[in-house]
Amino acid sequence: MAAGSFRRSIASQLSKVLDLPPENLIKSISAVPVSKKRHVADFQLSIASVIENSSSDCLAQDLHLQAQQLAERLKCDSVVSAISAGPGTVNFTINRELLAKTVLQQVWKDGSEYGVKSELFSTVPRQKAVIEFSSPNIAKKFHIGHLRSTIVGNFIANLKVALGHEVVRINYLGDWGMQFGLLGVGFQSFGNKEKLKSSPLQHLFEVYVQINKAAEDENTKKLAKDFFRKLEEHDEQTLSIWKQFRDLSIEEYIRIYKRLGVHFDEYSGESFYREKAQEVLKMLEDKGLLQKTTKGTGIVDLSEKKDLSTVSTVMRSDGTSLYITRQVSPSVLIATAIDRMNKHSWDTMIYVTDKSQSNHFQHLFQILKLMGYDWAERCQHVSFGLVQGMKTRRGEVIFLEDVLNEVRSRMLQNMTSTKTTKEIQDPLETAEKVGLAALIIQDFRGLLSSDYQFSWDRALQSRGDTGVFLQYTHARLHSLEQMHGNAELTDVNVACLQEPDAISVLQHLLRYDEVLYRSSQDLQPKHIVSYLLTLSHLAAVAHKTLPVKGSAPDLAQARLCLFHAARSVLANGMKLLGITPVTQM
């Protein structure tokens, strides 16, 4: 890794002066963010991170003085061309010829693995991760509320895979519960087999809306209860209807996931674990964790003082599993977690849902721990906020497919009205990919836990910090390479890349591994989004000031290599976020 070889060289010199092992210093040496206003060094060492007795109340002037003293004891060499002290930092500037040569060679050599081979990840063990995300309800159309879970879970899975971890992507479906009693009765009254086959989710949704109007009718209630009771009793005819609803729904979900560029290794659901949930209730009872209230409800006491100040209700008074969040009972989720550990022997399990379910998962993890499952500490809930104000031209959005169609149509309209748009082989597919990038970048720009106000105008802007701008930059750089051919790095003298705008791009490429590391630690995509937007802005400036056409052959080839490296890293980062880079637009 380019940044790695420079960090090691700086750490090696520092270790002799500070009498510390080089490996202890690696993570304290970071690439300096590019600044538009001034020339910056390439790396800096934070004094506070290496001085043993430094504390938060350590005076800034003391740190500055220590930085100056340390800088004076260090010497420039064939790698480092300048050393200076800043406010509590020692700054290192890399030999400019070496910077260009090393960075471009590394990007060229590592390709899609650039950044992930960094020594920053050398101490991170390769693990098996189970990630549960998306989780729509069967027989209901894919609600827009599931979009965030789908794209966030997909990002986390992509990142883990890129870093060498084994990932199992699970879609845990809402495929059981009383609503299937209603739906079964509704289908007998309002269903149409042809419509079910041609448009299952739409038709089942219409049936569900119609039967819900009659849901308060005593006869309808009785029929629905009877239908669900038959399901629970494994009545063949009733199960066959339910299975048809489930299978056709999954087929349509897979089609929608394909549009999103998302896939799953496993589709499971509550129906798989309904019987095991009763075993969990017995386990809780045997371990003395299940308590009964005066009303006969089953609870687990989660309070520290065992005073029932915090409880989780796991069983109805009639002895059946209680259905709460997403109509999934705690005992079913406990059974699911235990089964996944038995089946996959995972190192970490991540649930991706909205933040309203945070307490629910906290209770789940606490109960597992009380049951003696130490691995509960390796379960994690990644929560996200709500998207507000997402509307199509026809009004409030309910279904994801409506959003995908809307973003594609708006993007197509924008592309056809833009003078710079070239003849595109498949304009519809390009509009879909660019539109999806717009949705993802608007969603990932802030902290996942934040709610945000959706805006079509803001998302689809071609300039500024948007997914459209990332796609435009990628297509523009690809077009440049197509026009002038791919320069072979072995034949190119990249040492001539000395202009400030070229140096800025190279400096930014140096930071990629640190950004990946940061996102891998907190599972927030915003670090990568911010990095890619800056890279695109720097590449846009360099594209204007460093022309390939009309330059001396050596210089043109060197610049072509620089733009190739920028496009390669841009494409890598976009793919991690779940965006397919386009080559024309």
Q: Which residue of the set 146, 203, 474, 527 is catalytic?
A: 146
Written as six digits, the tokens of 425 are 């082989």
Side-chain-side CA neighbours of residue 562 (13 Å):
34
The DSSP bridge partners found for residue 354 are: 384
Q: Which residue of the set 140, 160, 203, 433 is catalytic?
A: 140
Q: Which residue of the set 64, 117, 128, 143 is catalytic?
A: 143
Q: Rounded to an integer, what distance in angstroms lies between the CA atom of residue 556 and that of residue 568?
A: 18
**H helices of 372-426, where?**
400-416
Q: Which residue has the tokens 């979900």?
A: 253
Residue 276 annotated as catalytic: no
Exposure string (b/e) for 367-379, b if CB count within 10 Å is 16 or more? bbebbebebbebb
3-class secondary-structure state, position 458: helix
CA angle (173 as vertex; 579, 287 as ends), nearest 5: 125
Closest CA to 311 of 333, 326, 330: 330
Written as six digits, the tokens of 166 are 């084994």
Written as six digits, the tokens of 129 are 């991760």
**What DSSP letter does each residue of 131-185 carry, written as one string?**
EE---PBTTS--BTHHHHHHHHHHHHHHHHHHTT-EEEEEEEEB--STHHHHHHH
Give me the torsion for CA of 325, 331, 334, 339, rounded to 10°: -120
Residue 140 annotated as catalytic: yes
Q: Rounded to an integer, what distance in angstroms lies between the CA atom of residue 312 and that of residue 324?
A: 11
Closest CA to 349 of 336, 360, 358: 336
Q: Which residue has the tokens 């409800």?
A: 297
Closest CA to 536 of 567, 576, 578: 567
Question: Which CA distances in Å does 214 have to 184, 222, 224, 225, 230?
Answer: 13, 12, 11, 14, 21
Task: Please give the positions annotated as active site.
Answer: 140, 143, 146
